[in-house]
């Protein structure tokens, strides 16, 4: 899929979502929470920091599911990640998700957290994308400013929530399976979570169904997503 088609798809999805959404409180980026290194490296980016389509901007929204406050819920179908708050509210972030063949779903925990992580591409990514075996941390690293490494059953799922150097694709399905957020949004999320935080990744194409709620309660999930 060409970049133009992806961008047009994001715009169309944004317009459709904006027509049926309830009143939303959007949140501006609070740079006072950025560390000196964050400000230094973000000032050196070479990618175009394009504005995010309004439906995918960070916002406080009503939240009807039953996950406990402090949990993360990933809705790949609608390109949203929720950080659950108290009193039926959540912070909703727009995300880039994996192509269908490389998606992962299930229940995990945040097993590790890194600021400005290096990138260690998988064997499949190296073969498919022609990338090096290691990319050092920095403002143009595809992992971005933060990474949350997700574990299930005590094992690394190879599924991450991380920043991006391609903010123009927020709202699209193009990644190698991981969840991408803008560098500013992933810093905000990182500052809210801790090791052991529960992450519920809803199964694609099942909607917000009782199956997903049951899955969350049972701690179930599918197997490894990508190689």
The confidence score (pLDDT) of residue 9 equals 52
pLDDT tens column, 3-60 = 544 444 554 444 444 333 345 788 888 888 899 999 999 999 999 999 999 999 999 9
**Residues with catalytic function:** 162, 178
In a domain, 183, yes or no: yes
**Among positive and negative, which fits the CA dihedral 40, 42, 43, 47?**
positive
CB 163 within 8 A of CB 155: no
Name the helix (H) or strand (E) containing 213.
Answer: helix 210-218
Specify the pTM: 0.81
pLDDT higher than threshold 70 for residue 177: yes
Using alpha carbons, list the distances in angstroms from residue 11 to 14, 38, 56, 97: 5, 29, 10, 16
In a domain, 224, yes or no: no
Averaged pLDDT of the chain: 82
Domain count, the chain: 1
pLDDT tens column, 158-174 = 899 999 999 999 999 98
In a domain, 225, yes or no: no
In a domain, 226, yes or no: no
CA angle 165, 169, 173 (to 5 degrees): 120
In a domain, 122, yes or no: yes
pLDDT higher than threshold 90 for residue 223: no
In a domain, 155, yes or no: yes
Q: How far does Cα 11 stand from its chain's mean position?
A: 19
pLDDT tens column, 107-126 = 999 999 999 999 888 787 78
In a domain, 227, yes or no: no
Query: What CATH number is given to the structural domain containing 28?
Result: 2.40.440.10
Confidence of residue 208 (pLDDT cuts 50, 70, 90): low
- The DSSP result for 58-77, as a single string, is -EEEE--S-PPTT-EEEETT
User: What is the span of the domain harbouring residue 80?
Assistant: 3-218
């Amino acid at each position: 899929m060409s970049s133009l088609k992806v961008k047009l798809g994001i715009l169309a999805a944004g317009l459709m979502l904006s027509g049926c959404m309830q009143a939303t409180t959007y949140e501006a980026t609070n740079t006072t929470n950025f560390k000196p290194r964050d400000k230094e490296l973000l000032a050196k980016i070479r990618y175009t920091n394009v504005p995010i389509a309004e439906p995918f901007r960070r916002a406080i929204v009503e939240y009807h599911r039953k996950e406990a406050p402090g949990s993360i819920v990933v809705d790949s179908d609608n390109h949203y990640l929720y950080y659950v708050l108290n009193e039926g509210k959540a912070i909703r972030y727009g995300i880039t998700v994996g192509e269908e063949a490389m998606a992962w779903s299930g229940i995990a925990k945040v097993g590790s957290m890194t600021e400005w992580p290096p990138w260690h591409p998988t064997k499949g990514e190296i073969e498919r994308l022609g990338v090096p075996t290691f990319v050092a941390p920095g403002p143009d690293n595809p992992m971005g400013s933060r990474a949350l490494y997700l574990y299930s059953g005590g094992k690394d799922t190879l599924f991450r929530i991380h920043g991006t150097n391609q903010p123009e694709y927020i709202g699209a399905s193009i990644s190698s399976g991981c969840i991408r957020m803008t560098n500013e949004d992933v810093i905000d999320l990182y500052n809210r979570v801790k090791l052991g935080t529960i992450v519920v990744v809803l199964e694609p194409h099942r909607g917000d169904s009782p199956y997903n709620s049951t899955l969350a309660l049972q701690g179930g999930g599918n197997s490894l997503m990508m190689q």
